[in-house]
Amino acid sequence: MIHAPHAGLRRRIAWAILVCATILAATRPGYAEEKASCKTCHTKQVTLLATSVHNSFNCQECHGGPSTYSLSPDEMARYTRPTAPGEVRPVFQHGDGFTGKAKRADIPNLCGNCHADVERMNPYGIPTDQLSAYWTSGHGKTLKKTGDDRVAVCIDCHGSHDIFKTNEVTSRTYPANVPETCGQCHGNAELMGDFDLPVAIVDEYRRSVHGKLLYEQGDLGAPTCATCHGSHAAAPPGFASVRTACGQCHQLESKFFATSIHASQEEHKGCVQCHGGGPDANYHLIERITKPASALIQKYKQLMAVDPNATGEEVAEAIHPDPKRIINNAIESCTECHEDLEDDESLPKLFELIDSIAAAEKKYVETASYLDEVGRGVLLIDHQRFKFEDARTHLIALAPLQHTLDLDKVSAKVKELDKICDEVDQELTDLETNLNRRYAALAPMWGFCIVFSIALYAKFKQLKKKYVKPLP
């Protein structure tokens, strides 16, 4: 309580003082001079500041000048009454030390006055490297080199008076808001044209697997612009280090890719070569090539509903139309090195790898839907479901493993998966065979029951003849 600023309490005290002062000022008759503060004219900014993380600030800390002014009623009216259309209000002299609105180019240093000051930031536990990081960023470098103040400065991403902590949803730097914040400039064709930068990347991000994760599933852990580009030191990672950037999250993919033949090729663009959305995209339309298991099963069921007799190839195509499309997209960039793709032996190898994974997926979805089908009925298949969990683990593990481009390793994994699927299939078939034995038992049962009931009926007739006299 002592060292942590208690914003709410302070705000309340400030308001109380303000209200008291107003009442005092208003109830003292004949007081010749009126007190004015920043808020008297700059209501909007003061209100915004009061809700921001800087709510304990005085205006003077950034703008200089005195905090209150004594004005005669005449003067007060001149500066505060509504202006007629076309009328220009006289310029108010803010007094000594007033610095006014900072120039855009000066803003980084202005904010840095405090934010690069270790002593001032320590109580808040905030790092102080933002300013120096900024000067290493694309934005900072351009500002320093050309003085072009259209580059992003602190207020463009954080706001000026309405600055919030990153974990507040109203903040421009809240994860879900970051793409919009960066998109203010990077989605502006005119501005980006001047800097010779691509403008489609914001839209590409939105359509990418990461954008969908953020926007459609509301996953705040999804990477936003800053995750790969950095925030204050914002800069493109470059193809050489793109794997490192992706590898922050995609650890195994990165590790396996490092063992593949492409990793050592300087011309290879790393992850975005295949996942960057094709040759026409600007490497921001990051897509997944394999689908999650649940989506595979759904596709398979859709296909089965339309065409229960689909061939294996059709099944593979339906559950898995993407790899070839995406590879085809990427093929243009493959030709950069694989000059004669028609005769190149790499491509058939690649397709062999893809086909073996697709076959494993097909096997998986077939067993999964067999399990579902049996499970809806009267058999208890907990044990088989449990066993099948391992197949799922293998299937998911295939996705990172394929980045080795090593057919042997992938085949070994596929075999493990096949083995489990075969075992589960067999167990389910056995269970169903057992169930079918019940059907087989029906015939002798009916035989017995019919003979028995005929005997009883004969007995009934006999007894009736014996005990019942016919009606007269």
Partner 1 sequence: MTQQSNESTRRGFLDVFIGICSAITAAAVTIPGLMYLWPAAKGGAGGEVEVKGAKNLAKGESEILQVKGKAVLVVRTSSGFDAYSAICPHLGCLVKWEGVRKEFLCPCHAAVFDSKGRVVSGPAPGPLSPYKVKEVGDKVFVSAV
Partner 2 sequence: MNAPGWLQRFLNERYNMEVANTFIDKQMHKRLPPHTGWLHIFGSLSLLLFISQTITGILLLIYYRPTPDEAHASIQYITGEAHFGWLYRQVHAWGASLMILGLTLHMIRTYFMGSYKKPRELTWMTGVMIFVVTITFGFTGYLLPWNQIAFWATTVGTESAAKVPYIGGWLQYCLRGGDAVTGETLSRFFVVHVIILPWVLTGLIAVHLFLMRATNLATMERVGEEKKTPEECGIPFFPVHVAKEGVVAVLLIAVLVTLSVLSPWEIGEPANPLSTPPHIKPEWYFLPSYQLLKYFQGPYGAFMGIIACSVPFALLFFWPMLDRGKERHPRKRPLAVGFGLIGLISALALGYLGHVSGLEKSYFGARYHFSEKGWPTRIADDAPPSDSGGH
Told to check if 386 binds partner 2 by CB under 8 A, we report no
Residue 385 interacts with partner 1 (CB under 8 A)?
A: yes
Is 272 exposed, middle or buried (CB count within 10 Å of its CB: 0-12, 13-18, 19+)?
Answer: buried
CA geometry: angle 323, 327, 330, nearest 5 deg: 150
Give yes or no for residue 460 binding partner 1 (CB under 8 A). Answer: no
Q: Does 378 bind partner 2 (CB under 8 A)?
A: yes
Q: Which does 392 bind (CB under 5 to 8 A by kind): partner 2, partner 1, none?
A: partner 1
Q: Is 77 in the site for partner 2 (CB under 8 A)?
A: no
Q: Which stretch binds partner 2 (CB under 8 A): 174-182, 247-255, 395-403, 443-451?
A: 443-451
Residue 441 interacting entry, from partner 1, partner 2, none, C-beta within 5 to 8 Å by type: partner 2
The Cα–Cα gap between 259 and 255 comes to 7
Site string for partner 2, 396-435 (x = CB under 8 A): ----------------------------------------
Of the pair 342, 389, the CB lying nearest partner 1 is at 389
Site membership for partner 2, residue 124 (CB under 8 A) = no
Among 386, 429, 434, 447, contact with partner 1 (rule: CB under 8 A):
386
* Minimum distance of partner 1 from residue 164's CB (angstroms): 25
Which lies closer to partner 2 via its Cβ, residue 217 or residue 264? 217
Assess 446 for contact with partner 2 (CB under 8 A): yes
Among 65, 138, 230, 400, binds partner 1 (CB under 8 A): 400
Stretch that binds partner 1, among 136-144, 177-185, 384-392, 419-427 (CB under 8 A): 384-392
Give the nearest distance from C-beta 362 to partner 2 in angstroms.
24
Nearer to partner 1, 32 or 468 (CB): 468
Q: Which of 1, 2, 84, 442 binds partner 2 (CB under 8 A)?
A: 442
Question: Which of 303, 419, 290, 292 shows the shortest CA–CA distance to 363?
Answer: 419
Binding partner 2 (rule: CB under 8 A), the pick from 376, 389, 433, 444 is: 376
Cβ at position 397, least distance to partner 1 in Å: 5
Is 459 near partner 1 (CB under 8 A)?
A: yes
Amino acid letter for position 297: I
Number of chain positions touching partner 1 (CB under 8 A): 27
HEC profile for the chain?
CCCCCCHHHHHHHHHHHHHHHHHHHHHCCCCCCEEEEHHHHCHHHHHHHHHCCCCCCCCHHHHCCCCEEEECHHHHHHHHCCCCCCCCCCCCCCCCCCCCCCCHHHHHHHHHHHHCCHHHHHHHCCCCCHHHHHHHCHHHHHHHHHCCCCCCCHHHHHCCCCCCCCCCCCCCCCHHHHHHHHHHHHCCHHHHHHHCCCCCHHHHHHHCHHHHHHHCCCCCCCCCHHHHHCCCCCCCCHHHHHHHHHHCCCHHHHHHHHCCHHHHCCCCCCHHHHHCCCCCCCCCCCCCCCCCHHHHHHHHHHHHHHCCCCCHHHHHHHHCCHHHHHHHHHHHHHCCCCCCCCCCCHHHHHHHHHHHHHHHHHHHHHHHHHHHHHHHCCCCCHHHHHHHHHHHHHHHHHHHHHHHCCHHHHHHHHHHHHHHHHHHHHHHHHHHHHHHHHHHHHHHHHHHHHHHHHHHHHHHHHHHHHHCCCCC
Q: How far is the CB of 376 from partner 2 (least distance, A)?
A: 6
Residue 292 site contact among partner 2, partner 1, none (CB < 5 to 8 Å, cut-off depends on kind): partner 1
Member of 39, 255, 301, 409 binding partner 1 (CB under 8 A): 255
Select the binding partner of residue 195 from partner 2, partner 1, none (C-beta < 5 to 8 A, by kind): none
Number of neighbouring beta carbons within 10 Å of residue 205: 26
Nearer residue to partner 1 within complex by CB, 118 or 456 = 456
Check binding of 416 to partner 1 (CB under 8 A).
Answer: no
The span of 43-51, 228-236, 370-378, 412-420 binding partner 2 (CB under 8 A) equals: 370-378
Least distance (Å) between residue 454 CB and partner 2: 8
Per CB under 8 A, residues contacting partner 1 are 221, 249-252, 255, 292, 382-383, 385-386, 389-390, 392-393, 396-397, 399-400, 448, 451-452, 455-456, 458-459, 462
Per CB under 8 A, residues contacting partner 2 are 376-380, 382, 438-439, 441-442, 445-446, 449-450, 452-453, 456-457, 459-460, 463-464, 467-472
